[in-house]
Amino acid sequence: MIKVRDLEVKYDKKVALKNINIDINEGEITTIIGPNGCGKSTLLKALSRNLKYSSGSIEIHDKDLKKIKIRELAKSMALLPQAPSVPYDISVKELVSYGRYPFIGFGKRLNRKDYEVIDWALEKCDMKGYKCRKVATLSGGERQRVWIAMALAQEPKILLLDEPTTYLDISHQFEVLELIKEINRKTETTILMVLHDINQAAKYSSDIVILKKAELIGQGAPEKTITSQTMEEVFNLKGKFLENSHYPHFIPEMSYR
C-alpha cells in the first residue's frame, strides 16, 4: 500500500533519515521503534507531507505522494501528532467535527452525513456520551480517545499515530492500544504508529520497523525483529524474554549506556 524507496530527509544540513526502504501493508498495524532522535516522528511527517524529503520516493497505492493533492490526501490519510493542543473551551463534538473539514466545500457547513460520521467516530471510541463535554475537563485517556475519534472522522484508509500513549498512565495506555487494535480489526484501517514501549509494539503490531541513527535497521514480524540482538545493538540493553508469551516480551536486566 505504501512504498518508501531510498528516502532521505534533512533538517538544514543535518540528515534526519537516509536510505529508508520500507513497505507498509494494507489493513495491518505497523509500529516504528527505535532510540530517541532516530527519525521515527520524521518518517511519519514525511509520509503525511508535513515535511519535505530531499530525495527518494513515497508511493501510496502506486501514486507518487508529491503528486497527490493535499485535499485528496486528507480524505485518505489522518495524522495524530504527539501531545496535540486544543483551545480550553472547545467541546468534544466540535473537536471531532474538525475531521470532516476535508469533505466540506468552501463556504459550506456540516451536513447530515457529516454529523452521522461524527457520531460514528465517537461511538467507535466509546465517547458518544461525552460529546457535549469540554475537552479540557477530560482525563488523559479520554482526551486521547477524542483525538483518535477526530482522526477517524476523516474516514481515513491510513491512520498515522505519533506516540499515541505519551503522558498516559499504564491503564490508559492499555485502553488506547486496545482501541487502536479494535479500530484496525473492525474498519480494516491501515495503521502506522510510533511507540517507545517495545513490549507494547510487539503485542499490538503485525509488522515492526526499526530505526537507529536515521537509518533502517530492519523490518518484519515482531518475533523476527524484536530479538536479543536487536535489544543489544539498537537499545543497548541486555536481558531475557518471557517464556511462553504469545509475543516477544523483553525483560531488561542491564544497560550498556
Which grid coordinates belong to 181?
A: 487494535
Q: Residue 104 is which amino acid?
A: I
Alpha-carbon Rg for the chain in angstroms: 19
Q: Where are the domains of the chain?
A: 2-83+158-255
Can you tell me the distance from the alpha carbon of 177 to that of 171, in angstroms, rounded to the nearest whole number?
10
Collapsing DSSP states into helix, strand and coil, what is residue 44? helix
Question: Which amino acid would we find at residue 138?
Answer: L
Per-residue tens of pLDDT for the chain, all 257 residues? 899 999 999 988 899 999 999 999 999 999 999 999 999 999 999 999 999 999 999 999 999 999 999 989 999 999 999 878 877 789 999 999 999 998 886 667 899 999 999 999 999 999 999 999 999 999 888 999 999 999 999 999 999 999 999 889 999 999 999 999 999 999 999 999 999 999 999 999 999 999 999 999 999 999 999 999 999 999 999 999 999 999 999 999 999 87
Task: Output the pLDDT for position 244.
Answer: 93
Q: What pLDDT was estimated at residue 104?
A: 85
- Identify residue 221 by its one-letter amino acid code: A
How far is 163 from 84, CA to CA, in rounded Å? 11
244 burial class (0-12, 13-18, 19+ CB within 10 angstroms)? exposed
Beta pairing, strands 14-24 & 158-162: unpaired
> Kind and range of the H or E element at 248?
none
* pLDDT (0 to 100) of residue 107: 65
The CATH number of 2-83+158-255, from 1.20.120.10, 3.40.50.300, 3.30.70.100, 3.40.1390.30, is 3.40.50.300
Tell me the residue ranges of DSSP E strands in the chain.
2-11, 14-24, 29-33, 55-60, 63-64, 77-80, 158-162, 190-194, 207-212, 215-220, 237-241, 250-255
Give the SS3 label for residue 17: strand
Q: Which three cell numbers stand for residue 183?
A: 479500530
